[in-house]
Structure 1
Amino acid sequence: MKNDSVAIVTGASQGIGRATAIRLARDFSAVVLAARNKDELEKTATAVNFAGAESLAYALDLREPASADILVQGALGHFGRIDALLNIAGAVPQIDLFEMTDAQWDDGLALKLHGARRLTVRAWDALKASSGSVVLISGSAALDPKPGFAAVAAINAAIIAIAKAFAEQGIQDGVQVNSVVPGAVMTGRRESFFKKWAPAHNLTVEEATKKFPEETGIARFGKPEEIADLMAFLVSPAAKWMTGASLRMDGGEVKGI
């Protein structure tokens, strides 16, 4: 796709966001990066450059309404176009339904849902001009809610719904919109969780990371690079007729149809 094409990737400082940014550097001439952690974001920018694309990094918080304008205007000011927007930012705390506070609910909504919604709206005109693509990331909890994952499930379900709504408008405007629903992916955040969780349950980290997939009914954790490959496909010419889809990649975790 190179040909001066430009992608925006949020949540690009780690995990799936970082893997996606680096993967897109093979297909896009420029990748605009956004995340809150400046130091880690700069590492991603270096990797994107090494992979063959120009990078432009913005350390900002998409919970703040002005951030979407800064990111879109920056991309257009430097490169003159936006061809793909990949909304990946947004961790939601795994807290029991009966213990989660209003502030914690609001924080999860502010970043993952409203941050993605606001950025997609701000970038829409540029995406119309380029007949571009949008991907929003959800999560398998949306399809199988549990009490300890209530906020994760609710916010991820909202992501799927809003992606469908954007896709419907996109049919008229020439913008392709899809959502991706990953299962349990081994990211740095998940590794940190197991380092804390394992000792509290009298397990080694190795035992804990083996126990979780077994209990979930999957063979192993996913890799960020596997999700990144799916993201890259969705914003490639090969997937141009696919819109309004919600694609699971979870190793068989969700058993329902």
Structure 2
Amino acid sequence: MPNKERIAIVTGASRGIGRATAIRLARDFAAVALVARDSVSLASAADAVNAAGARSLTLTRELRNADTARQVIEATRDRFGRIDALINIAGAVPQTDLFAMSDEEWADGFSLKFHAARRLTLAAWETLARTGGSVIFMSGTSALTPKASLAAVGTINAAISALAKAFAERGVGDGVQVNAVLPGPVMTDRRRAMLARYGEAKGLSLDAAIDAFAAETRIARYGTPEDIAELIAFAVSPVARWMTGVTLRMDGGEIKSL
């Protein structure tokens, strides 16, 4: 539901789900602040946001740095005067076996995905409380099915889901809506790289690996970044306002449990 006064921040906005989400929100929001490290890809995403009907602000930042959250929130507020939605998407986590993960890799995974989202949400909270805004945390179905081969991904996503629940409880009193999104197998560049490694281990071409993984997980098709972007757009729309503290799973039927 369009409301052309609202302002959104999307992290990880230069590619994949983050880019698709920034472009989708441009239809409903007056402006979108796009945050990522790759300035070239970020500028391209911002052009697409402008073409979709919203103003844009590009913030090329390293979210691992503790002071970045304050910088992002202040820059957005200074430019647009308000913040109505914070979409925490940034955070590629090492896809490494449990017994191969170093302390440094564990710390880096939490720093980029968990702590960056936590800091941004804390920094934006006062402004979001004034506007009755929304926060989205990006988790994943690996939070529900952790595997030794992808130990950090499942562990950090589970922590993100729990963090979203904690913020949602505070948000009930403060007027801030908070939810987590759990995508299943979405075909991004990162997913293609993972499937290439999967294929190499099984002696398969990339196309064969894509088909084999889909059959193994029993999904009809892979998701697209645009699928998840539509879910996020719904979650931060006025019609979904009463929905808070939930984990929204969109996975093509990958997870078979209740």
Fold shared, TM-score > 0.5 on shorter chain: yes
Shift of 1:202: 2.5
Q: Is 1:107 the equivalent of 2:108?
A: yes
Instruction: Give the distance between the partners of 1:133 and 1:6, measured in 2 at CA.
Output: 11
Aligned residue for 1:122?
123
Instruction: Call closer, same or farther: CA 1:196–1:153 in 2, change over 3 Å.
Output: closer
Aligned residue for 2:228?
227
Q: Is 1:239 the equivalent of 2:222?
A: no
Query: Higher mean Cα deviation, 186-195 or 36-45?
Result: 186-195
Give the alignment's Cα RMSD to 1 decimal: 1.1
Aligned residue for 1:145?
146
Shift of 1:197: 4.6
Aligned residue for 1:218?
219
Shift of 1:169: 0.4
Could you say what secondary structure the match of 1:40 adopts?
helix
Shift of 1:254: 1.1
Tell whether the 8 Å contact from 2:4 to 2:28 is kept in structure 1 after alignment: no
* 1:139 maps to amino acid: G
Aligned residue for 2:179?
178
TM-score where L is the length of structure 2? 0.97
Q: What do the CA deviations read for 1:142-174 (whole angstroms, capped 9, x no partner)? A: 101110111111100011101001000000000
Q: What do the CA deviations read for 1:49-95 (whole angstroms, capped 9, x no partner)? A: 00000000111111101110111000100000000000000011111
Tell whether the 8 Å contact from 2:180 to 2:248 is kept in structure 1 after alignment: yes
* 1:115 maps to amino acid: A
Q: Which runs of 5+ in 2 are unaligned?
A: none
Shift of 1:193: 3.3
* 1:41 maps to amino acid: L
Aligned residue for 2:47?
46
* 1:216 maps to amino acid: T
Query: Higher mean Cα deviation, 9-18 or 193-202?
Result: 193-202
* 1:65 maps to amino acid: A
Could you say what secondary structure the match of 1:105 adopts?
helix
* 2:248 maps to amino acid: L
Could you say what secondary structure the match of 2:199 adopts?
helix
Q: What do the CA deviations read for 1:95-133 (whole angstroms, capped 9, x no partner)? A: 111111010000000011000000000000010010000
- Runs of 4+ with deviation above 6 angstroms: none
Query: Higher mean Cα deviation, 118-127 or 182-191?
Result: 182-191
How many residues are paired up?
257
Shift of 1:192: 3.1
Could you say what secondary structure the match of 1:65 adopts?
coil
Aligned residue for 1:164?
165
Shift of 1:199: 4.5
Aligned residue for 1:95?
96
Instruction: Give the distance between the partners of 1:195 and 1:151, measured in 2 at CA.
Output: 20
Counting only pairs closer than 5 Å after superposition, residues 24-43 of structure 1 correspond to structure 2 as 24-43=25-44
Q: What do the CA deviations read for 1:161-198 (whole angstroms, capped 9, x no partner)? A: 01001000000000000000111100012223334553
Could you say what secondary structure the match of 1:179 adopts?
strand
Could you say what secondary structure the match of 2:14 adopts?
coil
Instruction: Give the distance between the partners of 1:147 and 1:198, measured in 2 at CA.
Output: 18
Aligned residue for 2:188?
187
